[in-house]
Structure 1
Amino acid sequence: MKREYCGVFGIYNHAEAARMTYFGLYALQHRGQESAGIVTWDGSALREERGMGLVPEVFNERHLSKELKGDIAIGHTRYSTTGASLLRNAQPFRVRYKNMDIAIAHNGNLVNTVELRSRLEESGSIFQTTNDSEVIVHLIAKHMNGGTVEEAVMAACREARGAYSLLILANDKMIAVRDPHGFRPLLLGKVGDAHVFASESCAFDLLEAELIRSVKPGEMIVIDKGKVHSYDMDMGKKRHHCIFELIYFARPDSMVFGENVYFCRKAMGKQLATEAPVDADFVMPFPDSGVYCAVGYAQQSGLPYEHAMIRNHYVGRTFIQPSQDMRDYSVRVKINPVKDMIKDKRIIIVDDSIVRGTTIRTRVKKLRELGAREVHFRVSCPPIKFPCFYGIDFASKGELIAANHSVREIERFIGLDSLHYISIEGLLKSVSTPDDYCLACFTGSYPLQCEGNLKSCLECGC
């Protein structure tokens, strides 16, 4: 199972900063459904509200109109990739150091967290959470003596290794930073006279904000007293954008890494149809992740596009299985077949990935029971064989079906007539800057070396 990681949003110089951040987080809800938080600067101090759950469950009208005052705000919606699912790990994370209130919202994952945390604790730092974002705050504090907060942030980023797109409030300064590899997206925009930052452009669309550009890898943008300053942190690295933003994570109506996500996914589907055509009655997705690739496959192949599986959009993220004997309910409650479309049909299913294969196996078994004559499966990413250290909660290598089985073995396990994964070359044909992407989960070629301090690293067999 893939899980979303985090979304960040920030706005500077807007009278309704908290409310705009609320809507920005609403647009980014798909990136994290575990907790949400907003921090504002009210002119003299930071105010915060954080909670477990979805954005509309955490915030109410009182928070937005009375408690979260100020015209500067940052927000965060979270799924944990490091740190337990606890309120104390919800972000933005806020501290007071000397005469400065600091809050941080972080999307990504550091690969040297354990080393940094141990060193900081040896020098007297006391940690309140188990997430790696707090490590960055302590690094900033360590470098604050005698310097500016901008200098401290740059020094902290030179020590942190891994993926980080950061929004930081330091009193009334807003700071946006992106790691030198550019693993995670971060965008700059404007709405009226206000500057805005977000993980994806869909947040700008909701607010009718103008997308200006991406924050560059290795860039720090500081907004202070209405002035925008850009700093190159001189950590030049080859770009390694996360390809899974385009395959799965980003909303299809977003621009990410300068790419139109919708068009990229359609291109992946068209490439699949070119690589692995098959005579069939129709093409269908497993909603919702496979929809746009399936559209591309159908257009390229000339086959009808159908929705023979219907998703229940009202299933909550915390659906509880009634008993062990009824464990399949967790799959069946979310997606249900249109029975009369299945019998005696030759079906092509298009989806974004296969991680463990158990959920897909259950769904294919149901299609067989309903009389499907043939079931062919096309996957818009190559086989996932290696864990990710940079902020995607992929299973350990031992749980990744493609790491331990051939395509033909997976085909038999799921119960398919044929299975084809898009080739790496085909995937890269679907994006405009193919040299800029991280492919480590497919190839095992990691841009940042394992340091032996992450659970996933210990499990990857390196």
Structure 2
Amino acid sequence: MPPAHPFDDDKLKEECGIFGVVGVADAANFVALGLHALQHRGQEAGGIVVHDSDAGFNSARRFGYVRDNFTSHKVMETLPGPIGIGHVRYSTAGTKGATAIRDVQPFFGEFAMGGAAIAHNGNITNADSLRKELIERGSIFQSSSDSECIIHLMARSMQRNIPDRMEDALRRVEGAFSVVAMTRTKLIGVRDPLGVRPLVLGKLGDGYALSSETCALDIVGAEFVREIKPGEMVVITEKGVESHFPFRPAKSRFCIFEHVYFSRPDSILGGRSVYETRENIGRELAKENPVEADLVCPVPDSGTPAAIGYSLESGIPYAMGIIRNQYMGRTFIEPTEQIRNMGVRLKLNVNRALIRGKRVILVDDSVVRGTTSRKIKEMILDAGAAEVHFRIASPPTAWPCFYGVDTPQREKLLAATMSEDEMRDHLGVDSLKFISLDGLYRAVGEAKGRDPSAPAYCDACFSGEYPVEPADMLDKGFKMKTAAE
């Protein structure tokens, strides 16, 4: 199996997206559509599990895009039933490569009271210790995924029904989890007490849907009802929705990077349009970091709303100085070394006639390793730009995420080893400025900025302040932020 993103390895990647429906005809078709809308959250593999009263539980798991695997009649006719869940993933926790089909979710377990399947978005920060304990007690794992721990914990629970067993299991789990699960008749949704990862509820005719984002409700024609609350479990049948809160209450710490990059701009988070929030980020960025220039250009596509906001606030014209090849796809070709060296030119091309002789502001969502930023700068200068100024719609990413995001080791993060001026010189640009953490908080609706004593969001990738101690990583030698930092 070739690398899934050989030309896009300089972005933080959301680990997965989850979707489920109950009370509809041909649930698998709705799940496939929902997963297609969530494809940006995971582009390496996907899976669907359904149940039918005659055919029982059936599943399909595949590498690649949803459109390439879950649109043919040959596959979909093997997935009958009125209830189903699905998952799209990047591989972070777990192995990568051709042998990793066993890591593709949803995971299924057969219990005394019937079967159940789960799909998990997030990351279990104590998975290593849980796995060790479970193996010592006789569990046999089929995958290397942290999410499989939930199934084994459910199997060892003494509770009498599957929702109660799931509660029992999730009380042992640390970290971030939004879970969509199913039994023969029930669709279950759960968020961890901090609500780090998103999960929303929709009404679909006489049935219901659960999804990582509202954009997937839109594609299936479901009406958005509400967000599942942090620490909430909902159990949904054709009769309706039952809700309760099985975990100890905690202050919400939703992932702020969902607003910056992960979620689709046409989704709604916390009652706010993601697009409008990103435009607000661009406006804040312009207020904090003005510069004289001729054009504001986004690094497509993730920098576009922020670039529009920067242009509107600064009065500098917005222009599509970089054009994205919409048809390259991550399974483009098996890249030779020569083609790999062409890098981002396969994905992005400069609008030379527009750029030549201009002072250009490039707006991007983040800088991770900096490799892509350097290549884009070179392309802009090769096209004849007079100056290149980078404006970044997030604070410097200096710390890895342990809650369901594919992040490089800390020493590979540019902001972890360099000051802002050093990064500017490393990238070779005329100026480099990031939005401040307070500015980002203002853009997402916190008028007073960030309260350091009680942050409203998880911003650990910027601040180094982790709301849940990453136990497994500490055991492996990870060093937490010190007072001096």
Q: Which residue of 2 aligns with 1:127?
A: 141
- The Cα shift of 1:97 comes to 2.1
> Does structure 1 residue 150 correspond to structure 2 residue 163?
yes
Q: Identity over aligned residues, as a percent? A: 45
Aligned mates of 1:200, 1:150 — CA distance in 2: 23
Closer, same or farther: CA 29–402 of 1 in aligned 2, 3 Å:
same
Q: Which residue of 2 aligns with 1:458?
A: 477
Secondary structure at the aligned position of 1:57 is classed as helix
Aligned mates of 1:187, 1:115 — CA distance in 2: 30
Secondary structure at the aligned position of 2:236 is classed as strand
Secondary structure at the aligned position of 1:354 is classed as coil
Residues 348-378 of structure 1: per-residue CA shift (max 9 Å, x gap)? 0110000011111011012122221111110
Q: Which residue of 2 aligns with 1:440?
A: 460
> Does structure 1 residue 256 correspond to structure 2 residue 269?
yes
- For residues 236-315 of structure 1, the aligned pairs below 5 Å read 236-315=249-328
User: What amino acid does structure 2 have at the position aligned with 1:73?
Assistant: G
- The Cα shift of 1:16 comes to 2.5
The 8 Å contact of residues 81 and 109 in structure 1, kept in 2 or not, is answered as no
> Does structure 1 residue 179 correspond to structure 2 residue 189?
no
- The Cα shift of 1:259 comes to 2.4
Q: Which residue of 1 aligns with 2:4?
A: none
User: What amino acid does structure 1 have at the position aligned with 2:77?
Assistant: K
From 54, 57, 72, give the equivalent of 2:68: 57
The 8 Å contact of residues 206 and 238 in structure 2, kept in 1 or not, is answered as no
Count how many residue pairs are aligned between Structure 1 and Structure 2: 460
Aligned mates of 1:254, 1:454 — CA distance in 2: 35
Closer, same or farther: CA 459–371 of 1 in aligned 2, 3 Å:
farther
TM-score by length of 1: 0.96
From 131, 135, 139, give the equivalent of 1:117: 131
From 137, 154, 177, give the equivalent of 1:140: 154
The 8 Å contact of residues 111 and 454 in structure 1, kept in 2 or not, is answered as no
TM-score by length of 2: 0.92
Secondary structure at the aligned position of 1:448 is classed as coil
Aligned mates of 1:318, 1:234 — CA distance in 2: 41
User: What amino acid does structure 2 have at the position aligned with 1:445?
Assistant: E
Secondary structure at the aligned position of 2:59 is classed as strand
- The Cα shift of 1:149 comes to 1.6
Residues 400-450 of structure 1: per-residue CA shift (max 9 Å, x gap)? 000000100110111111111000000000112564211111111100113
- For residues 33-432 of structure 1, the aligned pairs below 5 Å read 33-43=43-53, 45-63=56-74, 66-85=77-96, 86-143=100-157, 145-320=158-333, 322-432=335-445
User: What amino acid does structure 2 have at the position aligned with 1:289?
Assistant: S
Higher mean Cα deviation, 38-47 or 341-350? 38-47
Closer, same or farther: CA 320–170 of 1 in aligned 2, 3 Å:
same
**What runs of 5+ residues in structure 1 fail to find an aligned partner?**
none
Moved over 6 A (4+): none
Q: Which residue of 2 aligns with 1:14?
A: 24
The 8 Å contact of residues 188 and 198 in structure 1, kept in 2 or not, is answered as yes
The 8 Å contact of residues 178 and 217 in structure 1, kept in 2 or not, is answered as yes
- The Cα shift of 1:235 comes to 1.7
